[in-house]
Structure 1
């Protein structure tokens, strides 16, 4: 980092706003006296939730999309939200041009502590659920748009009429409601079965499978963990019900079809979005972007076992075949 002139953003000329601005000035001056540099106008801070491969792939994509001359600094929360909040306060005091928050805890720490610096998040499922909607925040969504998922299901399984899914109403009700709304005009029906805890999954699955043409897995942590995924895939195959998922690892393990995002590409989009914000081509507040690149994974062994004929064009365009 380099030393730069002190910059303070004041949202409104109110008494409260004046007090906050004054306090911010004092904070920055204290950091200067303690030897902490103030960021230059082209500094970007990367704040990541933890040191895992998926987050690092996104960061690599982000860096590749930035122009030369950007000064980058990176901080790791190590999975600790309170540590993240302390780091976020320090970051706000250094006044960078933008913060790139990777993962939910990093994004939440930034949302709680950074109110007057642009924050771009990535690698967060359902950001609106966690309040990542403040005016200085935007990002790249991690979910494959439901419309694309449903369209691909119909392309691979044209006779599909009844789609089953397991979900926890405390976690994925919004997604289920949206899928039901989108399916209705197409003559298909979503058959959701509620589970309130992990113990409900085996019985719920056995009750659901006889009445559906396919099982759609959604990102719900009550339903899915390593153990339950194996059970779900094995049981669905025993009942000859194709499984549609959201990770290539699901397809590798036996799901018929999976649509997923590429983490490095999510980071690349975040970098492009950041460039446009810094260049003044875009301004906050703004809605998050949907992922541009969607990867298709097919399990041809599963298709053969189930007697499903994958359209040739879809097979040829797939990113992964198992």
Structure 2
């Protein structure tokens, strides 16, 4: 008598069922692996958040922010957030610190000295990388700045002296007016660099605005150029036109540090290019994010020459200087 089909083929059915269970388990594991891979891929491709803290809404700072945006806007691996300091409604910057702490970025960029001071003294987070831009004398803003990363507004003395030698080769004696308490170190570096480049640099130290006229009146006859550097003590915007007019009357070429000097009649000015500095800051930010590297960077600038002024005071205009170097 034949056995029932189910009983006869029972072991076979069990084998088939077992195989299906194994295949089902493998399918579940495969799908789980896909989900985990997708999750990991999503996490890896989340953009790195960069917060830009701006000291004030003034054109130089906004130009720098624009430069950062232009450099990073097409990248999908970073996300920018811009915050402005509000001295009027948030004098202690408590609100800004709370907002930063609630959603800390991977990197914070301080634009201007106030933002730099806030970032290093008020916002304490070891997990957030920090850098600065558009800061004059950063070592005065946050002590120990050599350990800080960023792009200052200072152009090395040696670089400026070389620019004078190339752009104004007839100037052999230049007077540098400065406050010793603010710029003594820079003045000494400049004197050494000038000597190495065949230029005699006379250090005209003054302790107050009242001393400037006296010191210059004693040296107009012995200098061919007057070099004015950013110095909070002895240089003010209202003083610049007066000094330039006095220099012109004595056939002395004034060398300044922004477009206002050229517009006021200076012969030459080393003008910082703020938007390009923003692009420099963007590149530095990427290096910090992905390589943890921060290389010293000279701020972007251009040398403007005023040929009409040079002609008026009897200095020749180098033929190598093209229209792009004129105001």
Structure 2 length-normalised TM:
0.78
Structure with greater Cα Rg: 2
Per the alignment, in what secondary structure is the counterpart of residue 310 of structure 1?
coil
Structure 1 residue 75 and structure 2 residue 83: aligned?
Answer: yes
RMSD of aligned C-alpha atoms? 2.3
Structure 1 residue 94 and structure 2 residue 103: aligned?
Answer: yes
Shift of residue 246, structure 1, vs aligned partner: 1.1
Tell me the residue number matched to 1:46.
52
Question: Quick one: structure 1 residues 269 and 111, their matched pair in 2 at CA, closer, same or farther if it must change by over 3 Å?
Answer: same
Tell me the residue number matched to 2:256.
245
Which runs of 5 or more residues in structure 2 are unaligned? 1-45
Asked whether the equivalents of residues 144 and 260 of structure 1 are also in contact (C-alpha less than 8 Å), the reply is: no
Shift of residue 84, structure 1, vs aligned partner: 3.7
Give the distance between the partners of 1:134 and 1:181, measured in 2 at CA. 24
- Once the two structures are superposed, residues 105-155 of structure 1 have per-residue CA deviations (whole angstroms, 9 ceiling, x without a partner) of 001111112342211211101112322645873111212332232112122
- Once the two structures are superposed, residues 234-285 of structure 1 have per-residue CA deviations (whole angstroms, 9 ceiling, x without a partner) of 00000110011111221121111111220001111001111121122x33xx
Count, aligned residues? 277
Question: Quick one: structure 1 residues 75 and 191, their matched pair in 2 at CA, closer, same or farther if it must change by over 3 Å?
Answer: same
Per the alignment, in what secondary structure is the counterpart of residue 123 of structure 1?
strand
Structure 1 residue 185 and structure 2 residue 196: aligned?
Answer: yes
Which runs of 5 or more residues in structure 1 are unaligned? 1-39
Map 1:241-320 to 2 at 5 A.
241-280=252-291, 282-283=292-293, 286=294, 288-291=296-299, 293-318=300-325, 320=326
Asked whether the equivalents of residues 51 and 108 of structure 2 are also in contact (C-alpha less than 8 Å), the reply is: yes
- Once the two structures are superposed, residues 24-67 of structure 1 have per-residue CA deviations (whole angstroms, 9 ceiling, x without a partner) of xxxxxxxxxxxxxxxx8621111111111110000000111122
Structure 1 length-normalised TM:
0.79
Tell me the residue number matched to 1:161.
172
Q: 1:204 aligns with which of 187, 208, 215?
A: 215
Question: Quick one: structure 1 residues 203 and 125, their matched pair in 2 at CA, closer, same or farther if it must change by over 3 Å?
Answer: same
Give the distance between the partners of 2:219 and 2:91, measured in 1 at CA. 41
Tell me the residue number matched to 1:56.
62
Tell me the residue number matched to 1:148.
159
Give the distance between the partners of 1:86 and 1:132, measured in 2 at CA. 25
Give the distance between the partners of 1:249 and 1:239, measured in 2 at CA. 21
Shift of residue 86, structure 1, vs aligned partner: 5.1
